[in-house]
Amino acid sequence: MPELPEVETVRRGLQRLVVGRRIDGVEVGRERTVRRTSRQALIDGLTGTSLVAAGRRGKYLLCPLDSGDGLMVHLRMTGQLLLVESGSARPLHTHVVLHLGDAELLFVDSRTFGEMVVYDPDHVDIELPEVARLGLDPLVDNPDPDQLWAVLRRRSMRIKPLLLDQHVIAGIGNIYADEILHAARLHPETPASSLRRRDAVAIHEAMGRILNDSIRAGGSTLSDVGYVDMMGEGGSYQDAHLVYGRTGERCPTCGRGFIRRITSGGRSTHFCPVCQRPRT
DNA sequence: AAACAAACCTGTGCGC
DNA sequence: TGCGCACAGGTTTGTT
């Protein structure tokens, strides 16, 4: 569910509402949420500390603690961080509770793919190997069009699965990959090795604009489960989606094609067959 | 290297 | 109303 704009919205919530507040108690319900280490490791690592800052790389929240350790949170498909008043009713699937004086930070996650871990920042490459190998973050690293072109063109994969590869670009998920490729007028199965410089420029422009617009809108909240920010509020960027979830609708860009849905790299993929015509 | 399937879980929406 | 099935925003692992 949450991709870069949604994770960034949560990061801003942590920065504004949780950084600097002492964690005076930790409860871990579901052990699976802390499977990388253990229930006791999370409790011992967080109790008595506070977040010094709230960082993000790709879809990973990385928060330095005043103990010198760091807290990593990944929401995966259905994870949510919610700030509530102490003593509030716990939503179904609340797996971790951080007590912050008169408030509580809840980690709620129905599918339990998400995780939390306290790590040693000096050993990220061992404790969080996938974070150490993350690719360029469109906002944190702010790559220029030529850097982007360089990392994309040296692969022969199709562009859609490549955009989803977190080791290449970090933070793009299934919704924004489709929206970015539509804005750049590229068919999702275009081989990356065939990209021209002007394609990279188009992807670069679309990526920056779409991700920033979405952050401004508080992210995308789809009708079903629904991503929400720390205060439980949904975003509104789904209203600006041009292709994702619009199968069969007339293309709002060219007005001639009808949005098609295919499977690419095992993921549902939406595009306009007219303005994203495959190249030969 | 790249494509594909399956796995991890739970919930929802749809056709019948 | 109920049942079964397809499908879901992420990522890893194993197999061709």
CA atom of A227 to C1′ atom of C9, Å: 8
How confident is the model over A103-117, as a mean pLDDT? 97
Establish whether A11 is a catalytic residue.
no
CA atom of A229 to C1′ atom of B13, Å: 24
Q: Which helix (H) or strand (E) holds A71?
A: strand A70-74
Q: What domains sit in chain A, N to C, each tagged with a CATH number?
A: 4-132 (3.20.190.10), 145-271 (1.10.8.50)
Contact, A90 CB vs strand C, < 7 Å: no
- The structure's pTM equals 0.98
CA closest to C1' of C10 belongs to A76
Which pLDDT value is given to residue A258? 96
Tokens for A133, please give them.
């190998």
Tell me: pLDDT of A1 over 90. no
Q: Which nucleotide is nearest to A263 (CA to C1')?
A: B4
CA atom of A234 to C1′ atom of B1, Å: 40
For A59, list phi and psi in degrees, rounded to 5.
-95, 10
Establish whether A153 is a catalytic residue.
no
The residues with which A74 forms a beta bridge, in sequence order, are A60, A115
At residue A224 the predicted structure's pLDDT band, cuts being 50, 70 and 90, is low
**Each residue's pLDDT tens digit, A24-58:** 999 999 999 999 999 999 999 999 999 999 999 99
Residue type, A171: G
Question: DSSP per residue over A232-271, as a string?
Answer: S----GGGG-SSTT-TTSBPTTTSSSB-EEEEETTEEEEE
Q: In what order do the strands lie in the sheet with A94-100?
A: A25-28, A94-100, A103-109, A79-85
CA distance A82 to A70: 20
For A263, list phi and psi in degrees, rounded to 5.
-110, 125
Establish whether A2 is a catalytic residue.
yes
CA angle A209, A210, A211 (to 5 degrees): 95
CA distance A280 to A273: 14
Chain C nucleotides covered by protein, CB below 7 Å: 7-12
Among A74-88, A103-117, A215-229, the range scoring the smallest mean pLDDT is A215-229
Q: Tell me the average pLDDT of chain A.
A: 96
Which pLDDT value is given to residue A225? 63
How confident is the model over A216-230, as a mean pLDDT? 88
Establish whether A160 is a catalytic residue.
no
* Beta strand residue intervals within A23-67, DSSP E: 25-28, 55-57, 60-64
CA atom of A192 to C1′ atom of B7, Å: 28
Candidates A11, A59, A160, A246; catalytic one: A59
CA distance A162 to A176: 13
CA closest to C1' of B9 belongs to A111
